[in-house]
Amino acid sequence: MTSPEPTGIVVLVSGSGTNLQALIDAAADPAYGVRILAVGADRAGIEGLRRAEAAGIPTLVCRVEDFASRADWDAAFAELIGEHDPAFVVSAGFMKLLGPAVLGRWTVVNTHPALLPAFPGAHAVRDALAAGAAQTGCTVHVVDAGVDTGPVLAQATVDVAGDDTEDTLHERIKAVEHPLLVQIVGRAAREGITVSEGKASIP
Ligand code: GRF
């Protein structure tokens, strides 16, 4: 029996790309059903892009500072992503807010290192520690126009230790984040993802 064609995705990164690596590793198995068509970034010279290159995946870089406005950047980014014609987009440690040109064209699945709606924003791990949370974790959700406000697909919990630093806690979050993202992206690819009236579901 031949496997069905894999679902093509574009993955967006801004940094070390360990979540991207987890997806690259999973996609090596044809049964996973995902082909990473390209990796996009908002900056050059990052480990995430090197991981893509090492895996033979095309890369694209679209820097906000190269455009006159955020809207121009958003339109250009959508154009570059569109060249690869993905079924959906995965934001895996991508640190810029996406605009309507991208969000209007694709479902974007994001991973966030906290239990949303707690601790949205760019410093979620630091904020959970500072608040004295006993538990935090990660959330895989669909991106909407807000900051980490889109409908949740799945979450995993991590206990905060008394001696945790931002780095040690983030490492333990990533240990549960990688398999959760792999699981949800695979299911979305194989079974489809529906977003309607602010709710997201994978059958
Ligand atoms: C992840 O924890 C992600 O949730 C957050 O930033 C981290 C990115 O890590 N937004 P990496 O680049 O995948 O290693």
Q: Give mean pLDDT, residues 161-170.
A: 98
Task: Return the axis-axis angle of helices 18-27 and 166-191, rounded to nearest 10°.
Answer: 30
- What residues are paired with 155 via a beta bridge? 139
70 is in an annotated binding site: yes
Residue nearest to atom 7 of ligand 1 (CA): 93
Q: Which CATH class is domain 7-191?
A: alpha beta
The verdict on whether residue 110 carries a ligand-binding annotation is: yes
Rounded to 10 deg, the angle between the 47-54 and 18-27 helix axes is: 20
Segments making up each domain of the chain, as ranges: 7-191
DSSP state for residue 6 in the 8-state scheme: P
pLDDT at 99: 98
pLDDT in tens, 86-101: 999 999 999 999 999 9
C-alpha to C-alpha distance for 78 and 84, rounded to whole angstroms: 10
CB 188 within 8 A of CB 195: no
Ligand 1 atom closest to 47 (CA): 12
What is the band of 4 on the pLDDT scale with cuts at 50, 70, 90?
A: confident
The answer to whether the CB of 17 is under 6 A from ligand 1 is yes
Instruction: Tell me, using a 6 A CB cutoff, whether residue 178 lines ligand 1.
Output: no
- The C-alpha atoms of residue 106 and residue 78 are separated, in whole angstroms, by 9
For the stretch 37-77, pLDDT in tens is 999 999 999 999 999 999 999 999 999 999 999 999 999 99
The DSSP bridge pattern shows strands 34-41 and 108-112 to be: unpaired
Strands 152-159, 135-142: pairing is: antiparallel
Burial label for 134, CB within 10 Å (0-12, 13-18, 19+), is exposed
Report the separation in Å between the CA atom of 7 and the middle of ligand 1, taken as the mean of its atom positions: 23
Termini Cα distance of the chain? 24
Look up 123 and say whether it is catalytic: no
Tell me the HSE value of 156 on the side-chain side, using a 13 A CA sphere. Answer: 19
Residue 174, ligand 1, Cβ within 6 A: yes
Dihedrals φ, ψ of 99, to 5°?
Answer: -105, -175
Does 120 sit in the ligand 1 pocket, CB within 6 Å?
Answer: no
pTM of the entire structure? 0.97
Expressed in angstroms and rounded, the spacing between residue 92 Cα and the centre of ligand 1 is: 6
